[in-house]
Amino acid sequence: MRKPLSAEETLYRLGLALLPVFFFAAVFVAFSGQELLGWMPPCWVHERTGLYCPGCGATRAVVALARLHLVESFCYHPFIPYTALIYGLFLIWETLRRRFAVLHPFPIFPCIVAGIVLLVLQCVWKNAAVLNGWNPFFVL
């Protein structure tokens, strides 16, 4: 009977399988970015309350990241480039670990915790900025 796959093995295989999908999606988004933004409905939380939800800015961040505008992407929604960075680091780390067997498994849990903290902090920052009359997208 086969031994069940570990979480790292499952995530690694899934990450490798999704790599071409993400690549072609990024190419598509890079070439149709502004049109893509027109297809998306507005955020109903922001539309009704004037406040930003934790996901506000994510689509614009994906478009900016696909066009390799990293600072712009980070300003729109820092969780998006963070996730892309962690995804890339995870695949590189696990590939090296399998190839050379010297690294310990990738620290997934701290990365998830840091991502959740980043998600909450960006939402608090954007709403604090709006309530104080600032532009939450300060660089743009």
pLDDT, residue 28, reads 87
Query: Distance between CA 11 and CA 15 in Å, rounded?
Result: 6
The model's pTM? 0.83
Q: Is residue 37's pLDDT more than 80?
A: no
Query: Which pLDDT band, with edges at 50, 70 and 90, does 138 fall under?
Result: low
Distance CA 124, CA 126 (A): 6
